[in-house]
């Protein structure tokens, strides 16, 4: 069984850096779910306080 930890802002920046490097060298490997902006959007949706 594996354990999972919440994704932090630092993790998000690392994933965005990876997405940028892949986009620069192999854009054919990316889809709409792996862009820098989409990663931030998905992460941010789970961290909004006071929404509603």
One digit per residue, the tens of pLDDT, for the chain of length 52 reads 567 788 788 988 898 898 889 889 998 887 777 788 888 888 777 766 554 4
Structural contact between residues 15 and 39, judged by C-beta atoms closer than 8 angstroms: yes
SS (H, E, C) 2-21: CCCCCCCHHHHHHHHHHHHH
Q: What is the distance between the alpha carbons of residues 39 and 50, in angstroms, rounded to a whole number?
A: 21
Neighbouring residues of 19: CB distance < 8 A, sequence distance ≥ 6: 30, 34, 35, 36, 39
Q: Where are the domains of the chain?
A: 9-45
Output the pLDDT for position 48. 64
CA angle, 38 as apex, 36 and 43 as ends, to 5°? 100
């Amino acid at each position: 069984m594996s354990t999972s930890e919440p994704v932090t802002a630092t993790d998000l920046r690392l994933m965005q850096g990876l997405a940028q490097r892949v986009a620069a060298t192999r854009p054919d490997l990316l889809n709409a779910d792996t862009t820098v902006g989409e990663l931030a959007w998905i992460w941010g949706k789970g961290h909004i306080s006071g929404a509603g």
